[in-house]
A and B are shown apart, each in its own frame.
Chain A
Amino acid sequence: MTRLARATAIHEGIAALVERATELAERRPSPPWLQKLRSSGVAAFEKLGFPSTNDEEWRFTNLAPLARIGFALSPDEVSLAERTAALELEARLGPLGLSSPQPRIVFVNGRLLRRSPGGLTAAILFECMKNVLATSPERVERALVAGAAERDPSKQFFGSLGDAFLDEGVVLHVPVGVHLAEPLFILHVSTSPGSTVPPRMVHTRNLFTFEENSSATVVEAYLGANGPSFTNARTDVTLAKGARLHHVKLQLEGPETIHVGQLAVAHAAGAHAASHVFSFGGRLVRNEITMTLRGEDAGTELNGLFCAASGQHVDCHTLIDHALPRASSVELYKGVLDGTGRGVFDGKILVRAGAIRTDARQTNRNLVLSDSALVDSKPQLEIHNNDVRCTHGSTTGRLDADAVFYLRSRGLSPEAARALLTYAFGSELIEKVPSADVRAFLESHLRAWLPANLAAPETR
């Protein structure tokens, strides 16, 4: 493709998105603030255009495939074919599948498929965004408008795109002192509409607010079929004093998926969030996490496992913003790259002048299983005061030959030895997940993901 053709494709890609967003806005009668939010989103992403690899934040990730493929929103009604495909994909979740009793909201191609409140009491709001916007939009107005206002517009192509297409997602509100023992599940299923229809795109917005000293575990799972799809998912979380959240994201879509995910958590004093991201590849996957420690003694933990096979690209961007004293952050990201798979870890720790006695630890370890796999690791520390303890480390390597030989000397085949060691490398992150069902699912999923030439171990 020539440069001109590429520029034309990108321009047409943007124009098509503008058209789709305008159509959506016309379909949804909304209060003025929401109309304005959507139209400002459209104006912003149209002006920004797709980020290019000249942009430092996007240096290693090329969005050309997204610009070229003409993705369309699904019609409002869920078809029978979508329903069937969604059930089949959901069933693959094993212990997290259809029979799981936990509170759960399921979407297919961005539309609500099912909502089961589990044992949640009425005091806890766990509702789909579309219903909230239709019945009590004032509940989310302030957070949505403030979220858009706080965003750095020069960097927020996908955030603006999300505003432009704001329609569906999950609103969660946990009142003061409420501890939810069972995890809440949010499932997004992308199905392939077949070759006659344009591939589907989904823009989803989750808004979670935790009042003082409340706590919960929320699992967001993204499943997909084999065809192309585009998911733009944003979750904004506010933790009041002493609130605690475990957020688990399972990115399990097909090999042709384009997935851009953003998680932003604002911590008040003594609040603690742990993010667990498990990304199993796609044509282009980008996960951005922003942890803002706006209270003293707040804490955050970022755990991530990203796996990319041949032809796949997984990019992890994290930002931890230490704004006030005595907050702590611990980050561990591990990448497993096979074939021509490509991974990116870009992790920034920002310690502001007032954030004295900050304790921040960041580790990135990558395992490269083939000669043609590649990973770019870019840890960054930006520290504006002297009274801190910050460490970071990044390593990329192959399986330890001594360990492979040790296992072979006990009778394991080279394939079984490599599979066991690769599994063990990733399993460290699985062990940190608080839900036994999620751990069990991830254990079997990681085993199944292991490249066939490693021959996955069968039992644990």
Chain B
Amino acid sequence: MNLLEITNLHAAIEEDGTEILKGIDLVIRPGEVHALMGPNGSGKSTLAHVLSGRPGYTVTQGGALFQGKDLLAMPAEIRAREGVFLAFQYPVEIPGVSNTYFLRTAVNTVRKHRGQPELDAIDFLALLDEKAKLVEMEESLLNRSVNEGFSGGEKKRNEVLQMAILDPKLAILDETDSGLDIDALRIAAAGVNALRDGARGMLVITHYQRLLDYIVPDFVHVLADGKIVKSGDKNLAKELEAKGYSWIEKEAGQAASAAAGAGGR
């Protein structure tokens, strides 16, 4: 069964009705890593938000199935418990909630939903210790409030740590590389790569090819103006890096007008 199957997905900003996604089609099978690239404003983050259930968007057409179930009908927390994980581009600071407490609450909520026994303090700390090593997370950060006062790199590593602990079936990484220096990027990417296990699917959203040197995708898609305009393998990312996005947008524009012309004939 497909892990994720997005069909003709249209979505608009709830507040003003502006359509951002204009017909996305995408299939991710278990174990596959897909990169989604595209210029600013093409709708990359909107897709991540819509798939994770962030309030503020209206789906106007089409849909998405997660393991055959209607993903978009589920509240955000049910999507998370079913195994969809979003690594935030801008992780939220939560003063007063310790990282460890938060992670334990989250993992036990998810485990309960999946019919697994909840972890007691000792088992949880063992798991946390193991996964924290994966992203080179210092112990002091685990005892601090969630993301409070974390550097950009620490926040992104914390996202990867949460992903490792929650063990999702599908991980959506929203510009995990933004704001990271090369060392932080390397550590975050190593964490993600360790979670590639042949079963977990990933959707890696990025503006730059740089991240894909570290997380090598099976497929690359280019999003422009709310649609996937080109798909290929990892070499497509390299081509984009060399030539920029404009040629793709141009090509897409020509294709669109040709299609319009054909339709008119």
Q: Do A and B come from one complex?
A: yes
Q: For the complex, what is the distance from the CA of A274 to the CA of B101, rounded to whole Å?
A: 29
Q: For the complex, what is the distance from the CA of A409 to the CA of B109, rounded to whole Å?
A: 12
Contact of B55 among A403, A405, A423 (CB under 8 A): A405
Judge if A33 is at the interface, Cβ distance under 8 Å: no
**Is the pair A410, B97 in contact by a Cβ cutoff of 8 Å?**
no
> B103's closest neighbor in chain A, by CB?
A410
**Is the pair A414, B77 in contact by a Cβ cutoff of 8 Å?**
yes
Contact of B80 among A401, A408, A414, A423 (CB under 8 A): A408
**Is the pair B96, A406 in contact by a Cβ cutoff of 8 Å?**
no
Judge if B176 is at the interface, Cβ distance under 8 Å: no
Judge if A243 is at the interface, Cβ distance under 8 Å: no
> B93's closest neighbor in chain A, by CB?
A403
Q: State which of A143-151, A202-210, A376-384, A424-432 sits at the interface with chain B.
A: A424-432
Residues of B within 8 A of A423 (CB): 96
Q: State which of B19-27, B84-92, B216-224, B250-258 sits at the interface with chain A.
A: B84-92
> B49's closest neighbor in chain A, by CB?
A405
> A402's closest neighbor in chain B, by CB?
B92
**Is the pair B96, A427 in contact by a Cβ cutoff of 8 Å?**
yes
**Is the pair A410, B94 in contact by a Cβ cutoff of 8 Å?**
no
Residues of A within 8 A of B248 (CB): none
**Is the pair A406, B106 in contact by a Cβ cutoff of 8 Å?**
no
Judge if B76 is at the interface, Cβ distance under 8 Å: yes
- Please give the number of chain B residues whose Cβ is less than 8 angstroms from any Cβ of chain A in the complex: 30
- Please give the number of chain A residues whose Cβ is less than 8 angstroms from any Cβ of chain B in the complex: 26
Cβ-Cβ contact count across A and B, 8 Å cutoff: 77
Contact of A410 among B75, B145, B166 (CB under 8 A): B166
Q: For the complex, what is the distance from the CA of A243 to the CA of B85, rounded to whole Å?
A: 54
Q: A406-B88, A406-B91, A412-B106 are in contact. Are A424 and B77 (CB under 8 A)?
A: no
Residues of B within 8 A of A406 (CB): 88, 91-92, 94
Q: A409-B86, A411-B166, A416-B109 are in contact. Are A460 and B101 (CB under 8 A)?
A: yes
* Closest beta carbon of chain A to B168's beta carbon, Å: 10
Q: For the complex, what is the distance from the CA of A427 to the CA of B94, rounded to whole Å?
A: 12
Instruction: From A403, A410, A427, A457, name the one whose CB has the most chain B CB atoms within 10 angstroms.
Output: A410
Q: A401-B55, A409-B76, A428-B96 are in contact. Are A420 and B88 (CB under 8 A)?
A: no
Residues of A within 8 A of B81 (CB): 411
Contact of A408 among B75, B88, B104, B105 (CB under 8 A): B75
Residues of B within 8 A of A405 (CB): 54-55, 76, 92
Residues of B within 8 A of A420 (CB): 97, 102, 105
Q: Footprint of B on A, CB under 8 Å?
A: 400-403, 405-414, 416-417, 420-421, 423-425, 427-428, 457, 459-460
Q: Footprint of A on B, CB under 8 Å?
A: 52-55, 75-77, 79-81, 85-86, 88, 91-92, 94-97, 101-102, 104-106, 109-110, 113, 145, 162, 166
Offer 7 A-B interface pairs, CB within 8 angstroms, sorted by A.
A407-B94, A409-B52, A410-B162, A412-B77, A424-B95, A459-B101, A459-B105
